[in-house]
Structures are given as C-alpha cells and as structure tokens.
Amino acid sequence: MLTSEELERYARHIVLREVGGPGQAALKASRVLVIGAGGLGAPALMYLAAAGIGTLGVVDDDAVSLSNLQRQIIHTTPDVGRAKVDSAGDRIRALNPHVVLRTHAVRLDAANALDLIGNYDVVLDGSDNFATRYLVSDACYLAKTTLVAGALGVFDASLTTIRAHGVDANGNINPTYRCLFPEAPPPGTTPTCEEAGVLGALAGVLGSMMALEAIREIVGFGESLVGRLVMIDARAMRFETLRYARDPSNPLNGDAPTIRDLRGHK
C-alpha cells in the first residue's frame, strides 16, 4: 500500500503504463542487495533508492578514499576515511526516507554469502574481480535469487542477468555465469582499475543500467537480459548484444553438476 506521500514521490513512475500502481507496489515490496558501494554500486544504489525499492542492502567492507570520488558519486569529499556503507547509507536516507536500508560492512565470502544473498530477491554484483563474481553467481543459484551482473573495463563494459535456477518460456534451463565465462583469466592478466584506470562516467552509465535492469526484473516489463549480454564500447559509443545459452557441461546446473555448495570458494 502506497502512502499519499509515496504516490506523489513516484508519480512519474505511476503514470507509466508499464509500471503503474501495481509496479510501484512491487518495487516497494522488493528486497535488493548491491554488492559493493563503488563505481557501479554508487549510481545503482542511488537510482534504486530513488525508485522506491522497499528494502535496499549494500555489502562493502572498504573505506572511502580520495581516488574513489572520481566515479563513486554516492560519496563526497568529507566522507574520505569513513566506511563506504555508512557514507552510502547517509546519502540513501537523505534521498528517500521510505527505503529500509540494510548495511553489511563485511567482506563477502563463502561463509556468509548464502546467508546474505538468501534474504534478498535480486542481487546486483558491482564487484571488480572474478573470484567474487563466481562466488556471487554460485550463491545466487543456490539461493534461487536473480542476479544482475555488471563488469567494467577501461573503455568497455558489459551487463547481463542470471536466473540460472529458472527456465525460459520454452521450458529450457537458463544459463549460468559459468556458461558465459567457464574459467577466470589467469592471475595477473587482468589489470585492476588502479593499474589500468577507469572512466568515471562509464561507471555511471553501467551502474544506472544495472539499476534499470533490476527494476525491469521486479516490475516485469520489456525483454529480460537473461541469456543476453550487452556490451558497451565507450570509445566508439557502440552498444552490442549477444545471446548465450546454457552449457550442458557447466558445473552448476549442467547435466552432471559438481557444485552443490560454496565450499570450493575461498
């Protein structure tokens, strides 16, 4: 049930035929977890809060540094040195007091991933390393939680949605993150953002797209990105989409699965 203040706050959503009152009510009833309050998580958190997500969680064990502020727009200069979840929490509460905020100032690992992810309907992964991406995607499968996965490069980015615990309209099992990326690149072959740099505005574009995809999943309009990977080339301002399918040999939901828990993750 939306209050009179919420009806006014979300009026531009409610007049959209694809959202309306029922869609806005679905957003209010939803629980969304954002992994990381960094370059991707920062804009995603702000737009999700503005959209009226009922319960919004954020996981991050890091503190704000001056070099973050070039792209992590949920934090400000006076926040340098503060825990990112506290800084982000202040901004979210100021933006929309109707949102129930859950902050988790911990590092996501195999011991806590299922407990955290199992409390949410949708997870947005804004992490910057393959180990965490595999952990999050495996945990989402085991918890039967929808995953919106974004990845940021120097001048490129990608976005997809993983619902590997479900089936498509034809009854085919949906693909996993491991179907798209069977193996992580060898250690040392993928430079960090500290080493290679990162374009701040591109992080904003992708983080906003992640929020949009989560909203589309919750409300249920448009064509989902399940089985589709959107790729962005910021140098040419080009967007491309490729389709991918379940790999029967993948170890998560393949024909002979070998991953049944998170014990293989460090």
Integer CA distances (angstroms), 176 to 54, 70, 148, 181, 186, in order? 27, 33, 12, 9, 20
27 near 73, Cβ under 8 Å? Answer: no
Distance CA 44, CA 59 (A): 13
Does any domain span residue 238? yes
CATH code: domain of residue 59? 3.40.50.720
d(Cα 196, Cα 181) in Å, to the nearest integer? 22
Reading the chain (266 residues) residue by residue, the pLDDT tens digits are 899 999 999 999 999 999 999 999 999 999 999 999 999 999 999 999 999 999 999 999 999 999 999 999 999 999 999 999 999 999 999 999 999 999 999 999 999 999 999 999 999 999 989 999 999 999 999 999 999 999 999 999 999 999 999 999 999 999 999 999 998 877 766 766 666 788 999 999 999 999 999 999 999 999 999 999 999 999 999 999 999 999 999 999 999 999 999 998 87
Strand order in the sheet with 156-162: 100-104, 55-59, 31-35, 122-125, 146-152, 156-162, 228-233, 238-243
Place of tokens 């989560």: 214
Asked if residue 255 is part of any domain, the answer here is no
Domain span at residue 208 reads: 4-243
Backbone angles phi, psi at 100, to 5 degrees: -85, 115
CB atoms within 10 A of CB 98: 16
Within a domain: 261: no
Find the helix packing angle between 41-51 and 200-219, rounded to 10°: 40
18 token code pair:
């694809």
CA distance linking residue 61 with residue 63, whole number of Å: 7
The answer to the question of residue 266 being in a domain is no
Domain count, the chain: 1
- Residue at 130 is within a domain: yes
Query: Rounded CA gap, 201 and 123, in Å?
Result: 23
